[in-house]
Amino acid sequence: MAELEYWLWLTTRKGLGPAGALTVIDHFITPERAYYGEREDYEALPLPPLARQSLLDKSMDGANRILGDCDRLGVRVMTFQDADYPQRLRQIEAPPVVLYIRGKAFRFDEEAAIAVVGMRKCSQASQTRAERFGMELAANGARVAAGIAEGVDCCAVRGALKGGGPVVSLRPRGGDGPFPRENRFLFEDVAVAGALISEYPPGTPHKSGHFDPRNRILSGLCLGVLAVECKSSGGTMLTVNHALDQGREVYAVPVGLDEKCARGTNWLIKKGQAKLVERAEDILEDFVELFPAKLAGLAPMSRPVAEARLSPPAEDKPAPEDRERTEPAPSGRERVPLAQQKGRFTDDELAILAAAAKTALTADELVEKTQIPAKRVLSALTMLQVQGAVEERPGRRFYALVELLNS
């Protein structure tokens, strides 16, 4: 813990940044030695005056606050000198000196990770494509990485979760709060089933200047970047440029001439900067030899199966009286005898299945009906979806696909 304090002290020095912090490490070898450096030591470093002055501030208050927040939120701090720090990130320009990780730990160098990027205000067709690609990539052994912004990001993340694969979200702020707020349920789903990663400590607010630095990490962690819909300039194209500079593969989904979509992906294909792809296997075929155990032999998801799992078009929430009606049960609803229930589902999952047996309910309604804390409800819903035991219906309502038998 004491060593982490020195890392956090170093990375919170004003005017330093990742490149400056690595310059300090190259000189002092460890952040602890840097902490005990003198003015003349810092003056010898090729750093801006503000950074050299900031190194003279030996207060540990900020570092201790961050450590307390990380402990409270269950956030792990990974440093540049840790053995499991991704080698892929070490190879990029100005790699992050620390990473804050909430959720599962992944060895990215052993993962066929693919970033999915695109516009927030994209077409309905692109939302469907992003969700389908996310789902097919995850179902076939790839690790999907994205943000959680509206549009392509959240659709790709939602698809990856439906594909049964843990998903990683790179954050342009601290990992302790969702942004945008309306995606808070998806944010918690990722925290439970995957990982939220940021180079910014908990409590760091959203700032526009954080997005491009985040993008370099998103592309750096992955083998390739998939652009679903984008303009010829903007945030998506910045991520693509990072990928090209880092030697990553770039893929693009083409749009038809009669589609009301931004045409940046067509421009990338035309310029020879991206490979045209129509299905996830068009991407994964490039990495089968690198990751045969993860990708080889996996059958492509059939179109009927894929379409059945995709989110239905968004609809207005039904009136309260409509929500009270009994939902039509899907044909072939699975029945689980009492003797098998405890071995297959947790107590929280059983309570949710019982609550949503006749009526599709929102997460908030499930919290109220089961009296289970919201975080546990969201965790249980994620696992139930992965098991195919609940389905998401329009209006972010959830309905049980299994029937619990009492005998």
Q: Which of 151-155, 361-365, 373-377 has the lowest mean pLDDT?
A: 373-377
| 268 contacts 240 by C-beta, under 8 angstroms | yes
| C-alpha to C-alpha distances, 212 to 116, 170, 217, nearest whole angstrom | 15, 11, 9
3-class SS at 306? helix
pLDDT in tens, 107-145: 989 999 999 999 998 899 999 999 999 999 999 999 999
Tell the CATH topology of 108-307.
Rossmann fold (3.40.50)
pLDDT confidence of residue 321: 39
Predicted confidence (pLDDT) at residue 155 exceeds the cutoff of 50: yes
Domain 314-404: give its CATH architecture: Orthogonal Bundle (1.10)
Q: Percentage of residues in the chain with pLDDT exceeding 70?
A: 86
What's the pLDDT score for residue 340? Answer: 65
Give the residue extent of every domain in the chain: 1-72, 108-307, 314-404
pLDDT surpasses 90 at 249: yes
106 band by pLDDT with thresholds 50, 70 and 90: confident
Q: Is the pLDDT of residue 180 over 90?
A: no
The band of 396, judged by pLDDT with boundaries at 50, 70 and 90, is confident
Question: pLDDT band at residue 179, thresholds of 50, 70 and 90?
Answer: low
Residue 377 confidence (pLDDT) above 50:
yes
Give whole-number Cα distances, 356 to 161, 194, 329, 359, 393, in Å: 20, 25, 11, 5, 12
In this structure, what token pair is assigned to residue 128? 């469907």
pTM to 2 decimal places: 0.76
- CATH, domain range 1-72: 1.10.150
Return the CA Rg of the chain: 23
Reported as a pLDDT band with limits 50, 70 and 90, residue 327 is very low
Say if strands 167-170 and 275-276 run parallel, antiparallel, or are unpaired: unpaired
Q: Has residue 153 got a pLDDT over 70? A: yes
Of 130-144, 199-213, 307-321, the range with the lowest mean pLDDT is: 307-321
Contacts for 252-260: CB closer than 8 Å, 24+ residues apart: 252/226, 252/227, 252/276, 252/277, 253/126, 253/129, 253/133, 253/226, 253/227, 253/228, 253/229, 253/277, 253/278, 254/278, 255/125, 255/126, 255/229, 259/123, 259/125, 260/123
Please give the average per-residue pLDDT across 87-110, as a whole number. 93
In whole numbers, what is the pLDDT of the chain averaged over residues?
A: 86
